[in-house]
Structure 1
Amino acid sequence: GVDLKNNKNIDKIIDKSKEILNELNEIKQNRGINKKTLRALIIGIPNVGKSTLINRLVGKKAAAVGNKPGVTKNLGWIRIGGFLELLDSPGILWPKLDNKTVALNLASMAAIKEEILPIDEVAIYILNVLSKYYPVFLKERYDIDAIDKDNIIDTLDIIGKKRGAIIKGGEIDYKKVYNLIMKDLTEGLLGPITFDRFDSFNNTKEDGND
């Protein structure tokens, strides 16, 4: 797969595009049709790196990027070389997010606006996912072995003290802790994790969100 963080396998997209274009142009030439550039649409949920991918392919900042949803406002064609045109598009989502787990997963990846779900709820959800499925990463990043769901404040206090999220009087700045957890996730500092689980996929289908 393509790894934008480490700039791996990006050239494979160019190579495959040229291969597809050559095949299409060969068919067109046999039919007496003029050769054309290859056009493709970049589409996906908000804040997953669509514009970043385009910029990597172009080799310069051709599309606006930002670590929040809604940076790309309109459709826009961007030419790569003389053979490929990519259409950058705003992120798309389901019309309604009736499934709470799906909403939390999207919020954890900053794919939906912060106003939709409280940041404290999202940050605690991230910690619970780490504790359940990725305890090694939880230990490596925060030096926490497990999370007590009935006393989550203790966990937040540990993270706050270790990361310097302390306000006047020595109290923990919980809002800063929540933001630190979100930032650690979106910047890939928690490790290679996924929020998609097969059991939750089945539950989503049963809820009618397929």
Structure 2
Amino acid sequence: MMADPAPKPKIVVLASGSGTNLQALIDASRERDFPGEIIAVGCNRPGAFALERAAQANIKTFVIDHQQFGSREEFDGALIAELHRHNPDVIVLAGFMRILTADFVRAFRGRMLNVHPSLLPAYTGLNTHQRVLDAGDKVHGVSIHFVTEELDGGPVIAQADVVVNADDTPESLAERVQQQEHLLYPIVLRWFCEGRIQLAAEGVLFDGEPLPKPMRLSGN
């Protein structure tokens, strides 16, 4: 008799908005050889379109509405409890617009990924596209990183470049950055599910070796 295949790592995606990165991850996870399974999608906004995307893909959803809680700590506590119920191997933040408490981050250390629309460590926080244009930068991009207590400060796993054009607006730049996000995030999630990337004390390990600098894809 053939042995049963090992269960795939369980993925929970957290989103707040329309869920375009979520859709890219859903599409990738449906490929026959994808090494993980999205078991649930969680939102902090009841009307987020990400919930509709998950429902269309027959993926379980849950909502922890941040407006129902008196403090960030109470919200995070409820979210931690819900995540423990699903027992994910990895949590993927895909446009999840909440700053998480240190307790939350510690609870899932090494198991939480985030996407940020800049070439970190440059331009942490919000409004990255406008800030890049204001600075006159020639290259912008996207970073996928492990989540740590420092906002947008966790070790970066991979980045993709986006060339800034002279006639770019924040909207046109955002669109091209998002295209790179949709390519890069499923690749990094695949690496995680295959056990190829890990968070260690010294930073990111790739195939067991320290990653001296983020993996880099060139876009346009």
TM over 0.5: no
> 1 or 2, which has the higher strand percentage?
2
Q: Which has the higher helix share?
A: 1
TM-score, normalisation: structure 1: 0.26
* Bigger relative CO (Cα 8 Å, ≥ 6 apart): 2
Please tell me whether Structure 1 or Structure 2 has the larger radius of gyration of its CA atoms: 1
* TM-score between the two structures when normalised by the length of structure 2: 0.25
